[in-house]
Structure 1
Amino acid sequence: MAGRGYGPIIGDGLWSNNQALVAMLGLCPLLAVTTTATNGLGMGLATTTVLVLSNATISLIRNLVRPEVRLPVFVLVIASFVTAVELSMQALLYELYLVLGLFIPLIVTNCAIIGRAEAFASKTSLDRAVVDGLAMGIGFTLVLVGLGALRELLGQGTLFYQAHLLLGDAARGFSLTLGDDFQGALLAILPPGAFIGLGMLIALKNIIDKRVQRARKARAGQRQPVSDPAPEPAPETAPRPVAS
């Protein structure tokens, strides 16, 4: 664990071990708040902040916490940072805080955060714990934004609607629309649409992984030297009978 480079850690967080598409963790906020890309981005940034701060803190105190009480301590650390993030959003991004509602404090119960604390941060150095938290958080955020954008486009015909709730008044012009006459699919913004959209993203990732794997096998086969075929053995001839 200690000798692992940053590259594999980042690759795991963004793709290979993405907490939403592979580990299937944190599905409650993933499915509930992704009615728009803005909501997904806001929840993703909050989750990433908690992941990075909790990973860093747990890595620093890992040698001070007895194994018998490590999980309660980890939950206490995570809950402290979730409370700080919730109060910050309530003070700075109040309208977005009202939209996300209960799902901000529910970050405490996000299995992705406690899972990274137990499986990685508590067993490695500070720098790697921070990189892991950042990579896992960004990977989770990308799925939130992607699913939110998909559902928003299909359901409402908009993209980054109400972006000013997160990015300020300067982002009022960021919203894109497919036209006032667009007839959206109501299913996309309902809970079943969230499951269908997530299934489509998982299927897309699996297709990409299989194609990459086949391409690697093909390149590996081309690099193997072609050996000369072994000479065929000469056919055996039956001995001639000796005339008496």
Structure 2
Amino acid sequence: MLRKSMHDGLWKQNPGVIQLLGLCPTLAVTTTVVNGVSLGIATMLVMVASNGSIAPIRKWIPEEIRVPIFILVVAALVTIIDLSIHAFAEPLYRALGIFIPLIVTNCIVLARVESFASKNPTLPSLYDGFFMGLGLCIVLALLGGMRELLGKGSLFSGMDLIFGESWKVLSIEFFDSSHGFLLALLPPGAFLGLALLIALTNFFNQTKQ
């Protein structure tokens, strides 16, 4: 079960490049590696917690009201994550903006709760939430890295938003941002970057057959 969850989440059913779920935050937030990874980790934590919360009580949830209950559970968990980021990393909170609360309506979270956690025991549901969230986080990191490198000429800028000013030294600058490819930082650049990742994924899948 662990191996299957890992394979499904990281590759076979990757939410970002296979299922194409959660495109709104994927395209909007991934202007840097730090932003993409931060939202990816927040989403992963919510997925693990929501799957782990729903699976133990799945047999006692009435079929007619299961979706509202799922949303309430996810909303409570997202509120905890949102307030935690606001308290301990306010600059990052301002950078991510509305996309942290919008995890409540992220179809990735609701899809895994509905399709997996509501039908499986707790431990497999935890595995599923973790690896699906990790798969999305990797896609957000890759897309954020591509856009940041092409658009700003840097990598890992914004580390100070999470850990403080002393971490700013980890930022790598390859060229001045004034010489960057502006399209990479705009929404069309996000679409093009994601399309490239999807194409590479499909290519590798075809070569393995």
Q: Deviations over 1:62-114 (max 9, x none)?
A: 01101111000000000000000000000001000001000000000100000
What does 1:131-146 correspond to in 2, within 5 Å? 131-146=127-142
Which consecutive unaligned segments of at least 5 residues does structure 1 have?
214-244
User: Which of 94, 117, 133 in structure 2 is aligned with 1:121?
Assistant: 117
Larger mean Cα displacement after TM superposition, 164-173 or 73-82: 164-173
**Contact 2:152–2:177 (8 Å) recurs in 1:** no
User: Which of 186, 198, 201 in structure 1 is aligned with 2:197?
Assistant: 201
What does 1:1-244 correspond to in 2, within 5 Å? 5-180=1-176, 183-213=179-209
The Cα shift of 1:131 comes to 0.4
**Contact 2:39–2:100 (8 Å) recurs in 1:** yes
CA distance in 1, matches of 2:4, 2:82: 32
The Cα shift of 1:166 comes to 2.1
**Contact 2:21–2:107 (8 Å) recurs in 1:** yes
The Cα shift of 1:171 comes to 2.4
Which amino acid in structure 1 is aligned with residue 25 of structure 2? P
Structure with the higher helix share, 1 or 2: 2
TM-score (norm 2): 0.97
The Cα shift of 1:162 comes to 1.2
Which amino acid in structure 2 is aligned with residue 47 of structure 1? T
Larger mean Cα displacement after TM superposition, 179-188 or 142-151: 179-188
The Cα shift of 1:210 comes to 1.1
CA distance in 2, matches of 1:58, 1:170: 40
Q: SS of the counterpart of 2:96?
A: helix
Which amino acid in structure 2 is aligned with residue 122 of structure 1? S
Aligned length: 209
Q: SS of the counterpart of 1:146?
A: helix
Structure 1: which 4+ aligned runs deviate by more than 6 Å?
Answer: none
Which amino acid in structure 2 is aligned with residue 96 of structure 1? L
Name which structure has the greater RCO, CA cutoff 8 Å, separation 6+: 2
Which amino acid in structure 1 is aligned with residue 37 of structure 2? L
RMSD of the alignment, in Å? 1.1
Which amino acid in structure 1 is aligned with residue 57 of structure 2? I
**Contact 2:153–2:177 (8 Å) recurs in 1:** no
The higher radius of gyration belongs to 1
The Cα shift of 1:169 comes to 3.9
The Cα shift of 1:168 comes to 3.6
Q: SS of the counterpart of 1:20?
A: coil
Which amino acid in structure 1 is aligned with residue 158 of structure 2? Q
TM-score (norm 1): 0.84
| Structure-2 residue corresponding to 1:223 | none
| Structure-2 residue corresponding to 1:226 | none
